[in-house]
DNA sequence: CATTAATATTAGTTTCAACTAAATATATTA
DNA sequence: TAATATATTTAGTTGAAACTAATATTAATG
């Protein structure tokens, strides 16, 4: 019941497994290797260790899955990461493109005390600057309304940006310069096979599909 | 001229060498081993590497010394550490005894951006909560007035606490509970061979020499 | 269903920073 | 100065976590 102490590497594995599980359902060694920027052979090795300590289950050629304990730990790391991102943005004037990298390093290193302190300071937020949900202190994912990519909306529809699922710095920079950030109300002014034309505060912007696919919105009722 | 990228271990070595150099003049393998909680043989190994990359000079059986570049790096780490301590205390409500450990981990991990952000936020402070000087952005040590241990004062003399040179948590806790913190004005009410009696805001406290020796004050002119 | 392509694993190596045990060099002092 | 104590180094090991190259397994397709 008492937590094993994990290496940063191990935490990263659990975190990535969690995110891939959430995204694809099943997680192959390959995918993991790609996300962690590591060779498949290395993944085999590490997964073996994580299976040993029962943080992960592995059915060869089928995929990897977190155990309950593994998921808990992944959520802790994710909580650290997302709280940090919000904290850096809100309290240290980081820009959208800068927060990820810094949080990536800090997440493994801050104490429970630090976590609690910034959570408190920010009044226990539920979403980070990208719109990603922040697991609560007891590691539940906050309820989030159904979202769809802007690219899926009909021309004319109104909605609110709720999540931006890219960490490409150039894209993030460009979006924030255009004020296309989380919680912004937008209208789809037009669309074709190559992308979407958005209207925001009298301004119009064209977003190619490659970007529009990763901007998720809540539709106005 | 471009900085080599160092491991956390290496940064710790440089930092400790700096502190010991400042304290004792020369730094033996033994001392280093003690401070880093590592065996002497390990120190030999690491020092050899640091000599290779010219961050350190080593005269066997005489001692170790930082090169100019080595000192620069040590000061950077020290700056991180002390800025962090102050930040944790001032902005995240850490207590005196909690700041060291957290800073010890964070110091290796924060970016220049982070450093600059908190320095700016705190208006470029010159001393951390222990009274230790914070190297400036260009790595100069701020001028500090001459300090002496309270234990060296005559009974009756007035002074101001400027530095508390222990990281023992229990002592730090007790001192802060008694309000014997940096920048506090105190009077030596009496002394004998076993310690000092202090008067602070109508309160009187007795400090054994073992503690009084590490509380440094600036004497009233 | 046999072959190919995709996926995963093994075995052995590397690097880093520690370790132990044993050897050696210097310093102290009797 | 010789003997002893202290300080330092050497040589070899360990444990993580990565790597490469080669091999093996499964899935997909013609």
pLDDT in tens, B161-207: 999 999 889 999 999 999 999 999 999 999 988 999 999 988 899 99
CA of A40 vs C1' of C8, distance in Å?
A: 8
A102 Cβ under 8 Å from any chain B Cβ: yes
**pLDDT confidence tier of residue A1, bands split at 50, 70 and 90:** very low
What are the chain B neighbours of A121 within 8 Å (beta carbons)? Answer: 92
Kindly report each contact of residues B165-173 with a partner whose C-beta sits within 8 Å and lies 24 or more positions away, as own/partner: B165/B130, B165/B214, B165/B215, B165/B216, B166/B211, B166/B214, B167/B100, B167/B130, B169/B97, B170/B97, B171/B211, B172/B96, B172/B97, B173/B95, B173/B96, B173/B97
B7-10 long-range contacts, CB within 8 A, separation 24+: B8/B108, B9/B46, B10/B46, B10/B49, B10/B50, B10/B55
Backbone torsions φ then ψ of B91, nearest 5 degrees: -110, -20
Which residue shows structure tokens 């899926």?
Answer: A152
Quote the minimal CA–CA distance from B117 to chain A in Å. Answer: 6
Quote the pTM value. Answer: 0.91
Question: Could you check: is the Cβ of residue A61 within 7 Å of any atom of nucleic acid strand C?
Answer: yes
* For testing contact with chain A, the best of B102, B116, B120, B122 (most A CBs within 10 A): B102
**B203 contact partners, CB below 8 Å, separation of at least 6:** B178, B179
Q: Which nucleotide is nearest to A39 (CA to C1')?
A: D19
* pLDDT tens column, A148-180: 999 999 998 999 999 999 988 999 999 999 999
Residues in B touching A88 (Cβ below 8 Å): 114
pLDDT greater than 80 at residue A59: yes
Establish if B122 touches chain A: CB-CB under 8 angstroms: no
Mean pLDDT to the nearest integer, A17-46: 94
């Amino acid at each position: 019941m008492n937590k094993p102490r994990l290496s940063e590497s191990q935490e990263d594995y659990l975190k990535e497994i969690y995110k891939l599980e959430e995204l694809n359902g099943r997680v192959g060694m390959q995918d993991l290797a790609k996300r962690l920027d590591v060779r498949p052979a290395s993944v085999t090795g590490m997964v073996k260790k994580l299976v040993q300590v029962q943080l992960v289950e592995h059915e060869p050629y089928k995929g990897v899955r977190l155990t309950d304990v593994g998921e808990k730990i992944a959520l802790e790391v994710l909580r650290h990461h997302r709280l940090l991102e919000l904290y850096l943005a809100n309290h240290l004037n980081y820009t959208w493109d800068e927060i990820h990298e810094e949080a990536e390093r800090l997440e493994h290193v801050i104490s429970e005390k630090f976590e609690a302190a910034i959570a408190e300071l920010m009044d226990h937020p539920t979403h980070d600057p990208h719109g990603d949900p922040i697991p609560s202190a007891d590691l539940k994912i906050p309820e989030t309304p159904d979202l769809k990519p802007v690219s899926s909306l009909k021309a004319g529809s109104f909605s609110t940006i709720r999540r931006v699922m890219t960490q490409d710095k150039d894209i993030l920079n460009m979006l924030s310069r255009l004020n296309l950030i989380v919680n912004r109300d937008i209208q789809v002014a037009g669309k074709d096979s190559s992308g979407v034309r958005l209207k925001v505060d009298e301004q119009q912007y064209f977003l190619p599909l490659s970007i529009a696919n990763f901007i998720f919105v809540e539709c106005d009722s």
